[in-house]
Structure 1
Amino acid sequence: MKPSRIIRRTHRIVLPAAAAMAMAMGIGRFCFTPILPMMQEQAGLSPAEGAQLATGNYAGYLIGAVLALACPAAASTSALYRTWITVQVASLAAMPLTTAVPVWAAARLLSGISSALVFIAIAGSIAACLSNRPQHIAGWVYGGIGGGIALSGALVLSVESLENWAATWWFCAGAASVLGALAWTLHLGTSSTEPQQGRHPVRPESQATPRRTGFAALVLSYFLEGLGYIIAGTFLVALIRETSPAWLGSSVWILVGLAALPSSVLYGRFTQSYPTASIMRLALLLQAAGMVLPAVAPGAWSAITAGLIFGGTFQGITTLAVAAGSQLQVPRSAATLTIAFSAGQLLGPVAAAPFLSHGYAAALGCGAATVALAAIPTLLIRYKQSHNRMNRAPHPSTAGK
């Protein structure tokens, strides 16, 4: 096949797939973070109720991940993939229609379910369609998550002057519908998007020798990362708005997205020279430092630095964890990591709730301590250096944010 034709085919996959990631994850899951302070100020949402809404979304994500594992067709057919896009947009549009917390919780639950299923559908599709492409191409698909986060932050910042929390949800729903229209053009599977010749054979996992101890350590580390990072993912903007001008919170969220956009590509390149577990350990410690920074040193520069560190690590850690699971050669490692991470982030807001009575700084400190603790189990991860390559390692096909 001519190179020009391969490039065109790749673009027809990458662009709608990245749009789907931006819609389902960047906006669908994470727009709640910059909108939360406005809902508290204008709609009377309490910190505890905010934590409940966040927990509902994370519970939905766990349900979606389990559904995809129990019924693979839910995340592998074009018709259902488009159904989840529609559900995501509808869940966002439902938020400004009421001030009833139970309805908000139901909408966030549906948003979480559809986010997980769209994410898994896209990841599975590009794993099949781009397996014989350079690793960084698929990395840009996952970068769509960062692009969506940056877009949601920009939308909230542009609407803040109206002092209308409902308008922010309408704007986010509108942006999601545009991205959803772009994502709609993607056909799942390989027959309609990419030829199968030239694909590299995959070594059956049954032929590998599992590194059980190392994988147990990886699962524990990834569970703790899910539990700790989601506290910052939920309350970082609220903390910054408490100690800085209101506009800075949404601005920092834009930086989070921009920093996350290239992180999967960059971390993939780092692992070509250094052990994956070592890079993951450093990323976890760096993330913990970034999370606690605005809590111990309030101010504009610490807020900006925290946003860049958080954005530059959370998506990369997912990529590293799934790559480490692949290197350890444990069957269904990505599926197991998905459940562990989802369970952790489901418990995160619940664990943070007792600290919220003392302010968001205490909650962020709890999250930072948990993420730092997650670095310890990575010391037990061992594998042959020859396996330490991500050029052909699977991307986080199910271990999403």
Structure 2
Amino acid sequence: MFNRAALSGFCAMLIGIGLGRFAYTPLIPALIQDGWLSPAAAAYLGAANLAGYLAGALLGRGFATLIGDVPRALRAAMVACAVSLAACAIPAGLLWLTPWRFLAGFSGATLMVLAGPAILGATPPERRGRVGGLIYAGIGTGVAVSGTAMPFLVGFGLSTAWLCLGAAAAVLTAVAWTGWPADATPPANSSVRIPRIGWAVVPLLAAYACDGIGFVPHTLFWVDFLARELGLGLPVGGFNWGLFGLGAVFGPLVAGWLADRLGFKLAWSGALALKAAAVILPVIWVSGPTLALSSIVVGALTPGMVVLAAGRIVELVDPASRSRVWSLMTAAFALAQAGAGYGMTAVVSVTHSYVPLFIAGALALLLGSILSGLSPTRSPANCAPRI
């Protein structure tokens, strides 16, 4: 049962995040070149997806309570994401595309909030690490597949590319349809409440928000930066986006390995600093190897940061409060990335360059590294003994 449920979770992450969120990035150059959108409009459309993700992060648990059944809510979110991708095949401009990209973001966040807990709660403790790794590998797989397939599919037209994304999401929805644990129930008392948090968590909350800002340049503008601003073309942009996805597949495993050896505090602070260096690297030195290195490192540390942040919460927060503190951190991350998406879009519309965005992202990540180092290594009063 658990392998079947893990496959459903893998499909959910691939649909909601890998395709619904990240497949848009390699399409941006074609959307601009084919006249579907202006550069500013393409950036605003990407920000609309981030706004939808924020809404889903805040309301996803309530959505499951409203429906009354977690598997039903997950199926509805997958169907909605597939429909939103297919609807984008109609070239009707920004006003038409914006609500569909918002819906894709909302659906992706809902799947992120609900799928993992539903599956891991029905998984024996000794298998949760492996099952969780399989679930979240769907994100990187979606990025890798989209980076490889989208440059090829746009050769047949943008409408074809969008329809193929919708069809792929529909097939994955069918695969996942019956695999959810039967005993999954809506989260109890799912109204939005801000948990009481100790001072030790505040730097982590701020650092996670900084990560939400710092990863926006790569996850939203990377392919277009390579293809149009650097003049390297869509094939190079798509190739590097595939490398980003390859890094995202293995990032959680590498992050966990480092945390076991260095401790979560040092691993997270170091990872934020390393990510800052990888974000600023293409501004300082443009070459094939440096672009590939930037793609792989930022890709690996995009889902890798989730592992490290969750580990720090376990170290610093008592078990009864961890779920609500994690929800607050997820909302802070979503708010930061949505705000950064709109803010950076405004900068692009004025400067007509992505370079300032990578500089800002690197500075935010560096600040996050400093903030994460301000928290104590562990909080004996709140934390259970480390196993």
The verdict on a shared fold, with TM-score over 0.5 as the criterion, is yes
> CA deviation digits over 1:262-309, x for unaligned, max 9?
222232232222221211111111111111222222232222111101
Aligned to 1:206: none
TM-fit CA distance, 1:33: 0.5
1:169 is matched with which residue: 162, 165, 183? 162
What runs of 5+ residues in structure 2 fail to find an aligned partner?
Answer: 186-195
Matches of 1:39 and 1:247, distance apart in 2: 15
Aligned to 2:363: 369
Q: Is the 8 A contact 1:271 1:388 kept in 2?
A: no
Matches of 1:354 and 1:211, distance apart in 2: 34
1:284 and 2:272 correspond: yes
1:30 is matched with which residue: 19, 22, 29? 22
> CA deviation digits over 1:302-327, x for unaligned, max 9?
22111101111111011211221222
TM-fit CA distance, 1:354: 4.1
Which secondary structure state, in structure 2, belongs to the residue aligned with residue 129 of structure 1? Answer: coil
**C-alpha spacing 1:71/1:355, structure 2 compared with 1 (3 Å):** closer
Query: Residue type of the partner of 2:299?
Result: G
1:360 and 2:346 correspond: no
Q: Is the 8 A contact 1:271 1:390 kept in 2?
A: no
**C-alpha spacing 1:131/1:341, structure 2 compared with 1 (3 Å):** farther
Matches of 2:47 and 2:386, distance apart in 1: 33
Matches of 1:42 and 1:327, distance apart in 2: 50
Number of equivalences: 365
1:333 and 2:319 correspond: no
Aligned to 1:342: 334
Matches of 1:388 and 1:235, distance apart in 2: 41
TM-fit CA distance, 1:181: 1.5
Q: Is the 8 A contact 1:236 1:364 kept in 2?
A: no
**C-alpha spacing 1:131/1:324, structure 2 compared with 1 (3 Å):** farther
Matches of 1:189 and 1:59, distance apart in 2: 32
Query: Residue type of the partner of 1:307?
Result: S
- TM-score, length-normalised on structure 1? 0.85
1:153 and 2:147 correspond: yes
- TM-score, length-normalised on structure 2? 0.88
> CA deviation digits over 1:8-52, x for unaligned, max 9?
x33212112111111111001111111111101112422221221
Query: Residue type of the partner of 1:25?
Result: I
2:31 is matched with which residue: 22, 39, 52? 39
Q: Is the 8 A contact 1:285 1:372 kept in 2?
A: yes
Please tell me the root mean square deviation across aligned C-alpha atoms, in Å. Answer: 2.2
Query: Residue type of the partner of 2:245?
Result: G
Question: Percent of aligned positions with the same letter in both sequences?
Answer: 25
What runs of 5+ residues in structure 1 fail to find an aligned partner?
Answer: 1-8, 193-209, 392-401
**C-alpha spacing 1:190/1:304, structure 2 compared with 1 (3 Å):** same
Query: Residue type of the partner of 2:288?
Result: A
Which secondary structure state, in structure 2, belongs to the residue aligned with residue 11 of structure 1? Answer: helix
1:250-265 matched pairs, under 5 angstroms: 250-265=238-253
Matches of 1:43 and 1:302, distance apart in 2: 31
Q: Is the 8 A contact 1:211 1:328 kept in 2?
A: no
1:305 and 2:297 correspond: no
1:107-118 matched pairs, under 5 angstroms: 107-118=100-111
Query: Residue type of the partner of 1:252?
Result: N
Which secondary structure state, in structure 2, belongs to the residue aligned with residue 133 of structure 1? Answer: helix
Aligned to 1:5: none
